[in-house]
Amino acid sequence: MSQLVIHSGTCITPFEVIKNGSILIEDGIIKQIGQGKKDFSTETSPHVDASGMFVIPGMIDIHVNGGKGANILDGTQQALKTMSEFHLRHGTTSMLPTIISSSISKMITAIKLVETAVNHPQSYKARILGSHLEGPYISKEQKGAHNPAHIRTATAEDYHPLLDYLETVRLITAAPEISGVLEFARSLEENDIIFSIGHSNAKYPQIVNAVGTGFSLVTHLYSVMSSITRQNLTRIPGVVESGLLLDELSVEIIGDNMHLPGSLIELIVKTKGIDKVILVTDAMRGAGMPDGSYYIGDKDDKNSIIVENGVAKTSDRQLLAGSTATMDVCLNTLISEAGLSLKDTVKTATLNPAKLLGIENQYGIIACGKKADIVLLDQNYQVQTVIVNGKIEYTKTNKGE
């Protein structure tokens, strides 16, 4: 039996805050939680002294395209390993690699890669939970940095080849106003896939229909989506207002401190309630890399974006193109820019995505019986240690590596 004890830290479970908290891990599972270390066998077990640190559940990023020069559409195991290892160092212990609009064959290659990673977790640092398909059935008017050549309507002929590879697809972002999208969602009712409204120009009645069809999330709220329009003399809510209004919808927020100022994050939290807010990076391959020019998505598309001062933009500098953020940066943004408490912030990065994915029985919470995916943060919310399945996968060295 392998044991690990984490002691003397401030544990944010995130239902409660336990000062001077200790956690006993056995064979990758949390066995005991308490205060002080007297009841924990720290003399015989390997232990981590978390004095002066915050101990939080491992973070779950449901929207991450790449990092450290790699993108899931590179289609290689090495690319996925690179993304997984890079984001782990920033506190992500589980992720949904996010595949943007591409040809069906390229998307299937990436989905198969994710499927292999789901089935062989020992080869990856941060756990690969499944894939997030962002497109291709989205609005051309709200394409953002997606290649318009790959954006299309959802015909049965187009998505038919996908149907054999859906086992590990957990989330699909689509625009409900696009022809065939609601039928596509309805045809997958049995597959336990979450549908999210994103890159969409939908108006309120179309969004209500989408919710009726089972859509339960809004992808990167406020970015590349409709807002209020006027029809004759009346105003019609768009995706932004509907996302805020409808209780059936949770919302992703990009916490890179570029997409959303603190004031809008405050508005979102105030309107939705903290339990419906899910923190994501939307990181692209320029995350963890120097400024420069990078291909977004599939390299063969040669769809270049630029990263200047750490900000990813389309080549005409008119739009943000994903982010270079990591989950630790996103945590910091919510605390420093939007004034959220650490406990609430941690919920948006752990418990809330776990609940959305229906995996809170194992992940996203520090409690007895859950997987021991745990992150230690210093007082400035910088990641110090990352534990996955009870195993220390990363410890920050003095060199900051």
Instruction: Tell me the DSSP string of 258-277.
Output: SSS-HHHHHHHHHHH-GGGE
Question: Is 220 assigned a ligand-binding role in the annotation?
Answer: yes
Among the options 61, 282, 328, 373, which is catalytic? 282
HSE, CB side, 13 Å, CA atoms: give it for residue 46. 10
Residue linked to tokens 């400024």:
291
Pairing, β 59-64 against β 54-57: unpaired
**Per the structure block, which two tokens stand in for 91?**
């506190």
What is the rounded CA–CA span in Å between residue 17 and residue 306?
Answer: 41
Pairing, β 277-280 against β 229-231: unpaired
CB atoms within 10 A of CB 380: 7
Angle between helices 262-272 and 327-336 (to 10 degrees): 90
Question: Is 134 assigned a ligand-binding role in the annotation?
Answer: yes
Pairing, β 304-308 against β 292-295: antiparallel
Main-chain dihedrals φ then ψ at residue 205, nearest 5 degrees: -60, -35
- Annotation says 373 is catalytic: no
The set of catalytic residues is 282
Annotated binding residues, written as ranges, equal 134, 199, 220
Annotated binding residues for Zn(2+), written as ranges, equal 134, 199, 220
